[in-house]
Amino acid sequence: MSEKQPAPRRNRTIVIPSVQEEYLETVGSPELFRKTLDRLIGLHPELFPGEIGNGYLMKELRVSLKTGLPVRRITVGSAYYTVRPAFV
C-alpha cells in the first residue's frame, strides 16, 4: 500500500516595505491595509505573486508567534499569503 505524501509546503510570505508606525496604523483596518497594498502593488509589483493582478481577498488578522506583531493574510487565487513588514 502506498500512502499519499503531502505536497511540500512553500513559503507564501509577501514582505512589504513599511515603517513601523505606518504599518501598525494600517494593519488593524482592512480598508486602510487594502489601500496600502493597492498602492504597493502599483509601485512594486515584483513583490507580489503574478496572479494578484486578478484581485485578492483579505483574509484574517493574526499575531505572529515569533515577533508578537499583527500580520494580515490574503488570498490570491487559491493560495493564501501572509503579508508582513520588512522592518521585522
pTM equals 0.82
36 and 26 Cβ atoms separated by less than 8 Å? yes
How many helices (H) and strands (E) are present in the chain, helices listed first? 2, 4
Q: Each residue's pLDDT tens digit in the chain (88 positions)?
A: 556 665 556 779 999 999 999 999 999 999 999 999 999 999 999 999 999 999 999 999 999 999 999 999 999 999 999 999 999 8
Looking at residue 3, its pLDDT comes to 63
pLDDT at residue number 88: 84
- Model pLDDT, residue 5: 63
Residue 28 has φ and ψ, to the nearest 5°, of -75, -15
**Bridge pairing between strands 70-76 and 57-63:** antiparallel
